[in-house]
Structure 1
Amino acid sequence: MLKYLTAWNRWLGQRMFFITIIGLLIGFNVSLPQALLSPNVTLFCFIYLTFVTSLDIHFKDFKNILKKPVLPLGMLILIHGVMPIVAWGIGRLFYPNDFHIRLGFLISSVIPVGLTSIVWTGIAGGDIVLALVVVMLDTLASPIILPGFFALVLGQSVDINYSKMVVELIIMVVVPSLAGMLLNDVTKGKIEAFSHSIGGFTAKIGVLFIILINSAAIAPKIIWGLDIVKLLFVILLLMVSGYVIGYLSSYALRERSYPTVLTMVYNVGMRNINFGFVLALTYFPMNVAVPVVLGSVYNQLLAAIVTSLFNLKKSEKESES
């Protein structure tokens, strides 16, 4: 049975683009039960995904990354330093007279790294340990980064419950990650058979659920017209920029390995849209929240496209050799 589940897990991993499309189509067109739209469902999915992904990691691997913090810190600079500048430029270019939309772009660029970047890194064959370290560091740095950002952009602080945010992210990222690594060390790697079979298979179903739930949540908020089409185009440009910057920045590495490049692409490109949506909707007018919400349309879809492109490139190299 495990052999079949391993094969199915591998099969799904090679077809995440289509799974993402299916999740978007169902979410946009099918009315889901209210119980499925509960934040607890998404929370459980995130915890489970992080746990399963961490089952392939040993504590010594995690410590080795922490001993060389230059790369993780460099990625945080790209995420919270370079990307806001890009968002500001794109906002000024396409929406010079709409401060709310431009602020929405800025919030989209400065919010923490998307938790599913760890999962997509694992699916594509990237450096899961590096991705996990970046997400953890970003989680701990957000209570410092976000107040500074709002003070700089708005000239005033925003009253956000950062302690609650950090606790929630710790529950979703740190706790399941440590549990997964501990279980891997205790079983001396035997648990990896689970993560490559039923664990990996169900985790990919979990990704489908997250996409489906998020798309169902934002579908009622989209009122189609030329304005929304333009906004979707600009948001796509902004989000693609993140992936491109992550990829191009990898050329600055002394040792430019395939897993590291993948990790930089996903971590710089993906954002925690759920957190951004709550942040924008709670503390700003609805116009500010709209660009952040619409980012959900592309967040997982672009990750799936990037995975397909890297898989295609990897297959071409293997066939050449």
Structure 2
Amino acid sequence: MNKLQALNTWMTPKMPLLILGALALGLLFPDQIGLLCPAVSALMMFQTFANSLGSSVQDLGRVLSHPKPVLITMLSLHLLMPLAALGIGSMCFPDQPLYTLSLVLMEGSPAAVSSLMWIVIGGGSVELCLSIILLDTMLSPVILPLTLRLLCGSVVELDTLGMIRDLFVMIVVPAALAMVLCRLLGQSICAKAKQRLSPFSKLALLVIICANVTRCAPFLHELNRELVLLLCITLAMRLIGLGLGFLLSTLFRFPYPVELTVTVNSSMRNNAAAATLAAQYFPSEVVFSPSVSPLFSQLTSSLAVRALQKRQQKIDHPAS
């Protein structure tokens, strides 16, 4: 147990570097790493289950008592950001609609469970974060396919039912199973199990990223201006998400814990699931943005949390 805790403690602050390493491995050794692709769906199920342990139906119930921050975050996640992705993609890639689809898929995916780590580090509202993640996870089989059909239905033929089925199996079923176990066994037991599984969950995420990005290898070997632009836009979308979340929090005058939570959750996405769907249902061009987005998510969120913490410290302790 101590060794697992030590491994988890070591991995947590180094996740951006570990994700970068996973991306590099997948791009450098696509044939070898590609052998792991059949296991990605199972790893996705395990990661969702492990990260959902300790959550309960009561966490979802709290959404009803404090709906405004949740609704604001969902508005940012699933309306404003997908529309921004569509607009920016259409403007920058008028002749490459698959790149636009890649951006919309990235922005249509559900909130990232890993955002909880930054909420805890920054002193945000864990309860609100769990509510957002659980609600978004349960709705993802409807929201993501609907977003793609409405915004990009003319780009490629969509297997909507297939995507709904896979999202249900990869995300909803393991999350629901974790909540049922939490109800049966108690939160304390599930919280301990989550702690023990945490390093394995992070390893699963790295393998998922590594395997999914192998489909991008042929494009990076012939790196062109459009692909570099797509990389820059992928980074910009993470920054736009953070900025939008902060702006909405400021407009509604949320207290610091809620402000931090809405800001981070407006940007961080479960792009491992999006990249897995892209690899199964779309041409390889669509895989690129969701595959590299986790790296930018971790980097930008860590910087945003530090900036918001410093800002709050100045408010709490103004210089005399």
TM value normalised by structure 2: 0.78
| Distance in 2 (alpha carbons) for counterparts of 1:79 and 1:139 | 15
Q: Aligned to 1:104, which of 101, 106, 113?
A: 101
**For residues 30-69 of structure 1, what are the structure 2 equivalents within 5 Å?**
30-31=29-30, 32-38=32-38, 41-66=39-64, 68-69=66-67
Q: Which residue of 2 aligns with 1:186?
A: 184
Deviation at 1:209, TM superposition (A): 0.9
Aligned residues: 302
Q: Which amino acid aligns with 1:119?
A: S
Alignment-derived partner of residue 123 in structure 2? none
Match of 1:118 in 2: 113
Alignment correspondent of 2:288:
294
Distance (whole Å) between structure 1 residues aligned to residue 299 and residue 181 of structure 2: 32
Match of 1:131 in 2: 133
CA contact (8 A) 1:45 1:206 kept: yes
* 2:149 aligned residue: 147
The alpha-carbon deviation at position 72 of structure 1 amounts to 3.7
Separation in 1, partners of 2:263, 2:139: 15
Asked whether the 8 Å contact 1:131–1:263 carries over to 2, the reply is no
Offset, 1:200:
0.7
Q: How far does residue 137 in structure 1 lie from its aligned partner after superposition?
A: 1.9
Task: Compute the TM-score of the two structures, normalised by the length of structure 1.
Answer: 0.78
- Per-residue Cα deviation, 1:50-87 (whole angstroms, up to 9, x for no partner): 11111121221222225554444433332332124323
Whether the 8 Å contact between 1:12 and 1:201 is mirrored in structure 2 is yes
Farther off after superposition, 298-307 or 141-150:
141-150
Q: Deviations over 1:13-40 (max 9, x none)?
A: 12211211221222222342543122xx
C-alpha separation in 2, matches of 1:90 and 1:149:
13
Contact persistence 1:241–1:269 (CA under 8 A)? no
For residues 300 and 266 of structure 1, the distance between their equivalents in structure 2, rounded to whole angstroms, comes to 13
In structure 2, the CA distance between the partners of 1:5 and 1:263, relative to structure 1 (3 Å rule), is farther
Residues 88, 61 of structure 1: alpha-carbon distance in 2 compared, 3 angstrom cutoff:
closer
Match of 1:216 in 2: 214
Which of 226-235 and 181-190 deviates more? Answer: 226-235
**Cα displacement string for residues 65-121 of structure 1 (whole angstroms, at most 9, x for unaligned residues):** 2555444443333233212432344245534x536367436634663326xx11343
- SS of 2:110 mapped into structure 1: coil
Preserved contact between residue 136 and residue 174 of structure 1 (Cα < 8 Å): yes
Q: Are the aligned partners of 1:84 and 1:110 in contact in 2 as well (CA < 8 Å)? A: yes
Identity rate, percent: 20
Equivalent position SS for 1:118: coil
**Pairwise CA distance, 1:133:** 0.9
Kindly state the Cα deviation for residue 194 of structure 1 after the two structures are TM-superposed.
2.1
Checking the alignment, whether the CA contact within 8 Å between 2:275 and 2:287 is kept in structure 1 is: yes
For residues 295 and 5 of structure 2, the distance between their equivalents in structure 1, rounded to whole angstroms, comes to 24
- Could you tell me how far apart the structure 1 residues matched to 2:237 and 2:309 are? 29
Q: Which residue is equivalent to 1:6?
A: 5
Offset, 1:4: 3.1
Using the TM superposition, name which of 179-188 and 261-270 deviates more: 261-270
Gapped regions of structure 2 (runs ≥ 5):
121-125
Change (3 A) 1:183 1:267: farther
Distance 1:307-1:265 versus aligned 2 partners, 3 A rule:
closer
Q: Which residue is 1:285 aligned to?
A: none
Change (3 A) 1:297 1:240: farther
Q: Report if the CA contact (8 A) 1:266-1:303 is conserved.
A: no
CA contact (8 A) 1:88 1:105 kept: no
Distance 1:261 1:105, change over 3 A: same
- Inter-partner Cα distance in structure 2 for 1:56 and 1:81: 29
Aligned residue type for 2:61? K
Once the two structures are overlaid, the 10-residue window that deviates more, 254-263 or 170-179, is: 254-263
Q: Within 2, Cα distance between the matches of 1:4 and 1:314?
A: 33
Tell me the C-alpha RMSD between the 2 structures.
Answer: 3.3
Contact 2:264 2:301 in 1 (8 A): no
Pairing 1:21–2:27 present? no
Give, in whole Å, the separation in 1 of the partners of 2:34 and 2:89. Answer: 35
